[in-house]
Amino acid sequence: MATPSTETGYIGVLPSKMNGQPGDLDRAYEDGILDIAASFIRALDYSPPPYSEDLALKAAAVEELQSWNIGDALDGFMKYLDLGLAAAELFYPAHDFDLKVIVGICTAAMAWMDSVADVIIEAMSEFQRRFYTRLPQLNPVLDRYANYMPKLYDHFEPYVASAMIMSSCAFIDVSCLEIRALTKRVPTKKDAKLWPYYVRNLSGIAAYYAFACFPQKDHPDLVNYVQAIPEITIFINFLNDVLSFYKEEMDGEQHNYCQMMSRVSERPPISVLEDVAREALSSAKVAEQIMADSPAALKAFKDYIQGYIRWHLDVARYRLPASWKAQFSD
């Protein structure tokens, strides 16, 4: 979710009662969050998939980005390249090399946008209009990204590639929506019970990563998996919610899904977290049942689950304690 500059002290539709200041978690509360996360991971039969950084993959991604010829404008973007490439390798271990480069760069781009949305909100607000009308973007990185995304059509059938691009575009728009919502002094309305998931589903880019499991070369008929996509998207969003909640509470963040649902449902955030974990597990199980007669699609999803968990455990941004993560080591 996009996080605005903490200097402004935003409150409102997506309020931050701690105004971006680190949270001082009660030890019992901290342990409760981690216990939910641990039980969740075990319920998914997690076994750490192999991973080592592919230097050739990084070299190819760097070469591609250098070909964009935008100089220093890429400096901030490059900080997220390793994160993006790790996602490509862990989520989709069987994908072709060239496709991993594309997914890695797209993931890095979206992570970069998440970090700068408050700074380039005008350019991001204009992104979709300019993308569909083929106008130059207002930011050089966004301009190159707009021209890069269509490479997805080289690896996915048109419907799937289009769905992935729409998911990325929706993420850009909702990042701007979050920034706008945070600047308005309007209270969260308890009747707006669907609002938290509306925002969550768009900001999670879940459709992008769900469809990315199924390149056309390996999955030529989308009938084998498309009915599972709604369940997979719920799983993707909610796994991230379960494994990022610790970091978000440490940061005092109040505009994540669990906190928003807590306000509209008038229930403690940790109770919402428990519900989210249960729903994620249920969605994963249903998705697997839907694809039970499609072994290749089922394997792709199961590989994704294992890689998605490891990515959350390995990536520094989630700040999960090393002593806690040790229980999931090889």
Nearest residue to 54 via CA among 106, 100, 94, 91: 100
Q: Do 221 and 191 fall within a single domain?
A: yes
Domain boundary among 121, 152, 186: 186
Q: Do 199 and 270 fall within a single domain?
A: yes
In whole angstroms, what is the distance from residue 25 CA to residue 320 CA? 14
Q: Is pLDDT above 80 for 296?
A: yes
- Average of per-residue pLDDT across 114-120: 93
Q: Do 221 and 178 fall within a single domain?
A: no
Domain count, the chain: 2
Lowest-confidence region among 161-165, 198-202, 213-217: 198-202
Q: Do 166 and 223 fall within a single domain?
A: no
Q: Is pLDDT above 80 for 72?
A: yes
Nearest residue to 3 via CA among 105, 80, 115, 84: 115
- What does the pLDDT read at residue 180? 84
Q: Do 113 and 159 fall within a single domain?
A: yes
In a domain, residue 46? The reply is no
Q: Do 201 and 315 fall within a single domain?
A: yes
Q: Is pLDDT above 80 for 311?
A: yes
Q: Is pLDDT above 60 for 13?
A: no
Q: 251 or 149: whose pLDDT is higher?
A: 149
In a domain, residue 79? The reply is yes
Q: 265 or 182: whose pLDDT is higher?
A: 265
Neighbours of 2 (CB within 10 A): 23
Q: Do 59 and 153 fall within a single domain?
A: yes
- What does the pLDDT read at residue 185? 61
- What does the pLDDT read at residue 6? 32
Q: Do 227 and 275 fall within a single domain?
A: yes
- What does the pLDDT read at residue 300? 99
- What does the pLDDT read at residue 109? 97
Neighbours of 147 (CB within 10 A): 14
* Residue 89: domain span: 54-186
In a domain, residue 16? The reply is no
Tokens 């981690």 correspond to 34
- What does the pLDDT read at residue 4? 33
In a domain, residue 82? The reply is yes
Q: Do 81 and 131 fall within a single domain?
A: yes
45's CB contacts (< 8 A; 6+ apart) are none
- What does the pLDDT read at residue 182? 74
- What does the pLDDT read at residue 8? 31
- What does the pLDDT read at residue 82? 95
Please state, in angstroms and as integers, the Cα–Cα distance from residue 194 to each residue in 158, 199, 244, 264, 265, following that order: 30, 9, 21, 9, 11
In a domain, residue 293? The reply is yes
- What does the pLDDT read at residue 184? 72
Please state, in angstroms and as integers, the Cα–Cα distance from residue 165 to each residue in 92, 106, 205, 209, 226, following that order: 18, 10, 10, 11, 16
- Average of per-residue pLDDT across 10-26: 44
Domain boundary among 186, 205, 226: 186
> Percent of the chain scored above 70 by pLDDT?
92
CATH number at residue 220: 1.10.600.10
- What does the pLDDT read at residue 24? 64
| Mean pLDDT estimate for the chain | 91
Burial class of 286 by CB neighbour count within 10 A (0 to 12, 13 to 18, 19+): middle
In a domain, residue 6? The reply is no
Q: Do 143 and 258 fall within a single domain?
A: no
- What does the pLDDT read at residue 22? 47
Domain boundary among 186, 206, 228: 186
DSSP state of 95: S
Q: Do 117 and 239 fall within a single domain?
A: no
Angle at 87 between CA 85 and CA 92, to 5 degrees: 105
Q: Do 224 and 159 fall within a single domain?
A: no
In a domain, residue 176? The reply is yes
Most confident of 49-53, 264-268, 291-295: 291-295
- What does the pLDDT read at residue 20? 40
In a domain, residue 72? The reply is yes
